[in-house]
Amino acid sequence: EEGPRENARSVSLRIIRGRGEGLAMYLILLGPPGVGKGTQGVLLADATGWERVVTGDLLRTAKDAGTPLGTQAQQYMTAGNLVPDHLIIKMVEEKLSTLSAGTGVIFDGFPRTEAQASAFAMMLEALGRTIDTVVVLEADDEVLSKRISGRRSCPSCGAVYNTVLAPPKKDGVCDVDGTPLFHRADDHADTVQNRLNVYRRETEPLIEYYDGSKAVVHRVPSQEGPDEVQSKVREALGVGE
Which are the catalytic amino acids? 37, 112, 151, 184, 195
The two beta strands, 216-221 and 133-138, are: parallel
Least Cα distance to 144 among 228, 235, 221 occurs for 221
User: Could you write out the DSSP letters of every residue in the chain?
Assistant: -HHHHHHHHHHHHHHHHTTTSS---EEEEE--TTS-HHHHHHHHHHHH-PEEE-HHHHHHHHHHHT-HHHHHHHHHHHTT-PPPHHHHHHHHHHHHTTS-TT--EEEES---SHHHHHHHHHHHHHTT----EEEEEE--HHHHHHHHHTEEE-TTT--EEETTTB--SBTTB-TTT-PBPB--GGGSHHHHHHHHHHIIIIITHHHHHHHTSSSEEEEEE--S-HHHHHHHHHHHHT---
Q: What gap in Å lies between CA 54 and CA 234, rounded to an integer?
A: 20
Please classify residue 40 by burial: count the beta carbons closer than 10 Å to its beta carbon, then call 0-12 exposed, 13-18 middle and 19+ buried: buried
